Structure 1
Amino acid sequence: MPILTLAAKDLRLLLRDPRSAVILLVTPLLLILVLGLALGEGFGEKPDDRLRISVVNLDRGLPGKVPFPEKPWSEVVIDDMSATQDIRLEIIRDRGEAERLIAKNRRAAVIVFEEDFSERMHRCSFLTSADSVNPFGRDGVRLNQLGASLLNDRTQPVSASIIEQVTQVTLLRVVIPWMIGKAFARVGDEKFMELVANRLNGVKPIAPEVLQELDPVVQKLLVALTSDKDFPKIVLDEFRATKGSNFFKASEDALVIANRKGEFQRAVHKAFQNRAIMERVGKDVAFGEVLTPSVQKQVGPTVKRGVGDLFSNYNFEATRWSDLVKSDTREGVAANRIEYHDTAGSGVLNRGALRYQILVPSYTVMFAFFLVLSVGWLFVGERKHGTMVRLRAAPLTRGQILLGKLLPCLAVSLLQGAFLLAAGQLLFGMTWGSRPELLLPLVASTSFAAVGLAILVASVARTETQVAVYGTLLVLVLGGVSGSLMPRDLMPEQMKTISLVTPHAWALDAYNQLLATPAPDISAVLTACAALCAFGAVFTALAWWRMDLE
């Protein structure tokens, strides 16, 4: 077929031209290599205004089941941190990896929860005991007392200090309510009241004014006692027991006592008001003797309720900060927690770095359109040698000639795209994503758009200078507008929308879905492929209309 013959001839000319190999294959590889070595770790990561806090969690939790917490204490702290929307929590699984990141100045500080963190946290208490932990010091929470540590980079003191302060505030929110709750649970309990009684047993004598203040209580007791219906019988029985057989004498004495209770009460009252008598009465009585076990059981719960009522703005029985201050509960946000992944790569070339997931597709797309130069020079050369005139004289239609020119260019472009993606994986450790089979239609549609633009420019340019000027300017401008020269995530939203007038932008969006997104949007990829084919069709139609075979 004349179309295949023409295509084979042009393919030999393209492959024989060393400039094409340099522009289409060597140059993009060199640019990817240089930029991959020069760019920092953060290149390619989506902008995030949140504070990143890195955590190594080695905590083995509590040995048994406890009412609170239901999870290891380290997870309670992590949940509290992640509840803050302005914080992004990064979980690093290995302490050695954290130390390496600090040594290479890639992290300002890393929090480490040691294996016994939960055990130490659970023993934090305001109470005095042999196994209690006091976590507080002059500067706040003493991390070493809790089985925690902060690895920090001395070259980044400001960032490390911010992370340390966030850690301090979080630990205060977690440990303070736990310690207050444990302490308040002891207020008024049996051991607490026993301790109070023992302390008061050492307070002797009872001061006269204290006994004088007890006079109203004693009076109430005497009135209630002597007015009780069973009290006269008890008095009579006692007198009978002491008077023996003299029944009448005992009854007479009991009757006197019963009739003179008013005088007795007044006498007791006067005795209580006599300071000298009270000093003699109270010298052998201690305060603690008043707090008998029964009194302790009655007074203890009342003391606890009284303290709670006195500080009614707080719930001292709480174990969480939100419950303590009676505010909304702080729930951990899973979206604010991420697993650490090494985005810097390894080895001399930083193989596997995240930046290659951006650089390789960006320059694969951009240099696909550098085919404009090779095809333009080919057309100019054929015009110089009169090939175009002879083709016009041949029994070929304009469409056949155009198709014969287009097929070899498409083959070269497909070869270039496959080569750069393969080199990206082999040399730079780039991954092909979860749907690598979709790269084939994307490369093909991008190549079709690039070939269409190349044929269009070649049909317009008349000299090699025009090809160089038109082609280079067009490719660089389109590359800059589309986001090939910088990550599209860094572009303003308005510019992202404007850039969709270029085929590059559609191709880059599709590559981003396939190579940088764990679950790519297949419909977005197919839409981009359709848009690229539309660009290619329009460019080819314009080239057919504009092509001059003279």
Structure 2
Amino acid sequence: MPAMCPSSPWKCWSRTWRASSCTLRASACAIRRYVMLNQILALAWKDLKIFFKDPGAVALIFLQPFMFIVVMSYALSGLFEPGKGQIQLLAVNQDRGTQAAAIIRQLDEMDAFQVETTWEGQPLTREMAENLIVKGKRNMALVFPPDFSEVLEQAPGATLRRTKVLVIVDPATSSQFVEPVLGTLQGLIERSIYTAMAPKGLDYLFEKLAPQTPVEQREAFKTQAQEAISGGLLGGKEPVVTLERTVPPGMRVEKYPNSFQQNVPGYTIYGIFWIVSLLAGSVLQEKREGTFRRLLVAPMSRGVMLAGKLLPYYIINLIQLAIMLGASSLLFRMSLGHSLAGLVAVSLAAAAAATGLGVLVAALARTEAQVGGLTVLLLLTMSALGGCFVPRFIMPNWLRTIGLITPHAWALEAYQDLLVRGYGLWEVLPKVGALTAFATAFFSIGVWRFRFE
């Protein structure tokens, strides 16, 4: 039997020790991972229990996106569902012939338009249409002149007569809404012009150039030529019927508004209402620190105490409004209208409504999570309903009516009256009154529901 190497036992023991060490290290790593996983799960379970201890915050977390989805989906439903959300047009037919009625019928047969020639059972007049636009019930009206058919059917060779179709538009209506209507109407008018004037024009040419042409050949040529003309292959240098865009009487519009005048008011209102979060958060912090409890011993009413808390945020809101409107005017050359007094009155009332809503949220919320959730829920929903994100005129009628329960809708209409429609203080006073009523209601309910501990 051969002699064993003296180092062999040592090597064997070394190999065994290394294997055991690796096994121990692997076991230790597994134990550490298990402990870390348990710690992570314990911390997560702790935070979940804390979160679900506040049912109000839990409900708001899930309600926020749902409400926003519902409001925005209904507001934009007409843009994605064929046959819904038709553009509503008022049509005043003063034409003594039949051409205007034919164009109105063709517009109404299109899926994109709903043409109204009567209102509450009465035939529309120009005055009625203008009044409906001023009241905000409709955005656009077409007025066909009495001589519309006569101009379209005039005989060639005589002095060429021209006329205009008036398009009365609320200047707060965006160009993305107005231009497609004008383009469609222009196309229908041009087609009617060609269809009405082509036969007489061809007869005139035959009489002058080829009076001996047989009747059958004349009719065949007229049919082919009329199809080409009505299809737009031929055209004159200057149309006999033009579209004249105008606004209802009383609106001082020197030029039609740009994108800033149409968008700045909506996003400004959306921005100032975020003061709610700062105000409600500050009130909650003072409750937690006991500041209100100590102030209760002072000789002042609760309303005075809350008013003093509200005042600095009201001033901040006014500064925010001044900066946003002033910067838009200086940087983008946005017109601020003709009435500084009206602009000040609307801004004072809108800021009061925003800070009043902050008091109400502070009274209803009990935790920071509830403050954040309720603020986001209210502001996104009210902004969407009020038209800050989507123009209210493209919303369904029932949604427009619901939007009037928000201060955003009244503030936006008031700013558009001043910046876009050219109104003054007197015309916006009813909307200022509505905003003041919102502010009073928010503040009164907030004081009533407020707990100082």
TM-score normalised by L of structure 2: 0.49
What TM-score, normalized to structure 1? 0.41
Q: Could you say which structure has the larger radius of gyration?
A: 1
